[in-house]
């Protein structure tokens, strides 16, 4: 049995969750569930990033301590993930003792290795992004090239990590591992960045104190990004590894991030790991950004899509489906309520929901909810089963490549094939002729076995609906087993079902 370790970024808790956070987390959840279903030993980590100047300022504005703000907002993330059916294995907070100990040990190791020196930082800093910039990188008007907000001039003593020392090795690693950064456009971006100048990284700050102290360096707290990146190994118990999780799960198989935090994950992170003698993750995958009805989401516009509202208005699985289906994972995309409703009505209510209602309805009506066991498949039936097996293979490839929208397209092609199979075999006509009883059974059995396969394929994306389908088909959870039609053995009678996805008014 193989293992699969997937991570999301840990989210800043100066504010509450929005669609951007939900997006990465649902993708990670889908990956984790998929590989779990395939029998892998899976570990799925998420959490919250709680230190730094941005947090300290946000708490000040609210008149509370940073810890109070972190406690309150970290809880919001946890609650949302519970509502969203996110099956994480661990939720790490950077203010936890286990994390702080690991960060101290890590910095200490780099100091002892001679990779950290004391100097002075004099350049620009973007507080919302917690990121350093040089004068030449700034946009006109001294704006952050990433988020386009004003930057601040910093001049303070600082410890530096000798990142430049690892430039060559990182370049070499990139060239040898085209999969290290995905999609390819991001790999190219990182490669050109590393081919340029890789400067030593300022890893401590002295002008505020909401952070993890640098060992034996009074007044210095660890740069929030160094602190945050280490969550991926601190959560596994690095360095002592009391439970053997680090040994079992590191290196991460895939680290999902948004494209805005690529440099931190594909340059700083591997260099830090190299310096500490820790293996690099297999893949860092950067997804695109969502706009809302064509507009960039921002605090000033108050236009963040709130997952809580979407779930209440449209249902959880519809929301999970839409964000995974609408946009290719590596690309930017737009969230539009019209498009969302369109997909609910056509893909979910019409194609999938109707198929389930039709099949369960006919099994209930024509067979009294039970199969007698007679089955003699013909060409058409075998074609349908082959369609399911093909879809299974295609979907696996999609999960290997994070092409979730394609996986769903393939699944919907098979839903279409099954609907067509029913139209062609016309069980309602067979039901009128007692001589066709066996044929009727076979056709309905194949239709239900297809739906069982569809439920298995959909579970990573829409776990709640897949479980409802499973139960409607007379099966007992948890979902498991092979795709093959002969793996379908309903335990309970099948009856008419409520619509899985009610149609919405246009
Ligand atoms: N705390 C850091 C990550 C540290 S990981 C060691 C951070 N946090 S964040 O809360 O600001 O952002 C988390 C993620 O949300 C990022 O991956 C970012 O790309 C993503 N998104 C923020 N806005 C987004 C959209 N509009 N669309 C899609 N994802 C977006 O960065």
| Residue 186 pLDDT exceeds 80 | yes
Q: Which residues pair with 5 in a beta bridge?
A: 43
How far is ligand 1, taken at its centre, from the CA of residue 388, in Å?
36
pLDDT, residue 471, reads 98
* Superfamily of segment(s) 3-287: HUPs (3.40.50.620)
- Do 3-287 and 337-487 agree at the fold level? no
pLDDT, residue 381, reads 97
The CATH architecture of the domain made up of 337-487 is: Orthogonal Bundle (1.10)
Band the pLDDT of 1: cuts 50, 70, 90.
confident
Least confident of 129-138, 329-338, 396-405, 476-485: 129-138
The pTM of the full predicted model, rounded to 2 decimals, is 0.97
How far is ligand 1, taken at its centre, from the CA of residue 79, in Å?
18
Q: Are 392 and 411 in contact (CB under 8 A)?
A: no
Tens-digit pLDDT profile for residues 205-229: 999 999 999 999 999 999 999 999 9
How far is ligand 1, taken at its centre, from the CA of residue 12, in Å?
8
pLDDT, residue 224, reads 97
Tens-digit pLDDT profile for residues 371-411: 997 778 899 999 999 999 999 999 999 999 999 999 999 99
Calculate what percentage of the chain has a pLDDT beyond 70.
Answer: 100
Residue 28: CB within 6 Å of ligand 1? no
Write a three-state SS string for 331-395: CCEEECHHHHHHHHHHHHHHHHHHHHHHHHHHHHHHHCCCCCCCCCCCHHHHHHHHHHHHHHHHH
Mean pLDDT of the chain: 96
Least confident of 164-168, 323-327, 375-379: 375-379
How far is ligand 1, taken at its centre, from the CA of residue 11, in Å?
7
Residue 12: CB within 6 Å of ligand 1? yes
95: left (phi over 0), alpha (psi -120 to 50) or beta: alpha
Contacts of 22 (CB under 8 A, 6+ apart): 80, 84, 307, 319, 323
**Dist. CA 78–CA 90, nearest whole Å:** 11
Residue 286: CB within 6 Å of ligand 1? no
pLDDT, residue 506, reads 67
Structural domain spans, the chain: 3-287, 337-487
What would you measure as the largest C-alpha separation in the chain, in angstroms?
90
**Dist. CA 159–CA 136, nearest whole Å:** 23
Residue 126: CB within 6 Å of ligand 1? no
């Amino acid at each position: 049995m193989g293992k699969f370790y997937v991570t999301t970024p840990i989210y800043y808790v100066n504010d509450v969750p929005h669609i951007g956070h939900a997006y990465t987390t649902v993708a990670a959840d889908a990956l984790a569930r998929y590989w779990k279903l395939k029998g892998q030993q899976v570990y799925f980590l998420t959490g919250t990033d709680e230190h730094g100047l941005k947090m300290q300022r946000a708490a000040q504005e609210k008149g509370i301590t940073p810890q109070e703000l972190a406690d309150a907002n970290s809880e919001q993330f946890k609650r949302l993930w519970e509502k969203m059916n996110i099956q994480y294995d661990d939720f790490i907070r950077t203010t936890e003792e286990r994390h702080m100990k690991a960060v101290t040990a890590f910095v200490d190791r780099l100091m002892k290795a001679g990779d950290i020196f004391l100097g002075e930082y004099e350049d620009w800093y973007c507080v919302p992004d917690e990121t350093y910039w040089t004068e030449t990188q700034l946009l006109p008007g001294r704006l952050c090239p990433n988020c386009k907000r004003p930057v601040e001039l910093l001049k303070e003593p600082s410890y530096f990590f000798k990142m430049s020392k690892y430039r060559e090795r990182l370049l070499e690693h990139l060239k040898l591992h085209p999969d290290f950064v995905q999609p390819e456009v991001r790999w190219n971006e990182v490669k050109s960045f590393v081919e340029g100048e890789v400067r030593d990284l300022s890893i401590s700050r002295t002008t505020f104190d909401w952070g993890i102290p640098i060992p034996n360096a009074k007044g210095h707290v660890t740069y929030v990004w160094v602190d945050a990146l280490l969550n991926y190994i601190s959560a596994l118990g690095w360095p002592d590894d009391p439970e053997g999780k680090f040994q079992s799960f590191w290196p991460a198989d895939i680290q999902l991030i948004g494209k805005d935090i690529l440099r931190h994950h594909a340059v700083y992170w591997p260099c830090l790991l190299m310096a500490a003698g820790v293996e690099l993750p297999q893949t860092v995958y950067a997804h695109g950004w969502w706009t809302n009805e064509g507009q960039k989401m921002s605090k000033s516009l108050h236009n963040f899509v709130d997952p809580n509202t979407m779930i209440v208005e449209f249902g959880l699985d519809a929301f999970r489906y839409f964000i995974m289906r609408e946009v290719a994972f590596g690309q930017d995309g737009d969230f539009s309520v019209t498009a969302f409703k369109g997909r609910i009505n056509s893909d979910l209510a019409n194609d999938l929901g109707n198929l389930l209602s039709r099949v369960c309805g006919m099994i209930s009506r024509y067979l009294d909810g039970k199969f007698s066991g007679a089955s003699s498949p013909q060409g058409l039936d075998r074609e349908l089963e082959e369609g399911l097996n093909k879809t299974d293979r295609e979907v696996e490839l999609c999960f290997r490549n994070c092409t979730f929208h394609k996986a769903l397209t393939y699944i919907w092609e098979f839903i279409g094939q099954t609907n067509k199979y029913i139209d062609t075999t016309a069980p309602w006509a067979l039901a009128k002729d007692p001589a066709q009883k066996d044929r009727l059974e076979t056709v309905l059995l194949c239709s239900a076995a297809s739906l069982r396969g569809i439920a298995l394929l959909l579970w990573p994306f829409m776990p709640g609906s897949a479980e409802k389908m499973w139960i409607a088909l007379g099966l007992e959870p948890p979902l498991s087993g092979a795709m093959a039609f002969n793996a379908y053995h309903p335990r309970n009678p099948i009856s008419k079902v409520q619509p899985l996805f009610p149609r919405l008014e246009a």
